[in-house]
Amino acid sequence: MDFNEEGTLRFLVQSAAWKLGAVSISILRKQFDRTYVAVAFGNNGRAVTLNFIVVNGPGGWVISDVESPHDSLRMFLAQHGSRDH
């Protein structure tokens, strides 16, 4: 697994290790071609909430970005994506 894959996975579970619990998904709002979706789950007993921004494009729905309370996946990859791990 290269850094981009491992880094993305760590970002999505908000930890270097994971044992995921129940997941809940809810639509926060719809705005033009974008839908903002909140995903909450437990990871090793810690509550994690992420917001997925999905966009309806010519090929269908795609994830545009994932936001944590402190960062976004796009920003995280821009800062760390060029590193070899």
Model pLDDT, residue 1 = 46
What's the pLDDT band for 75 if we cut at 50, 70, 90?
confident
Rounded Cα distance, 32 and 7, in Å: 31
Model pLDDT, residue 78 = 83
Is residue 29 over pLDDT 50?
Answer: yes
Does the residue 70 lie in any domain? yes
Full domain range(s) for residue 70: 3-80
Does the residue 7 lie in any domain? yes
Model pLDDT, residue 5 = 66
What's the pLDDT band for 85 if we cut at 50, 70, 90?
very low
Q: In this predicted model, what pLDDT tens digit does every residue of 39-64 receive, in sequence order?
A: 999 988 889 899 999 999 899 999 99
Task: Say if residues 13 and 43 touch (Cβ distance below 8 Å).
Answer: yes
CATH of the domain at 21: 3.10.450
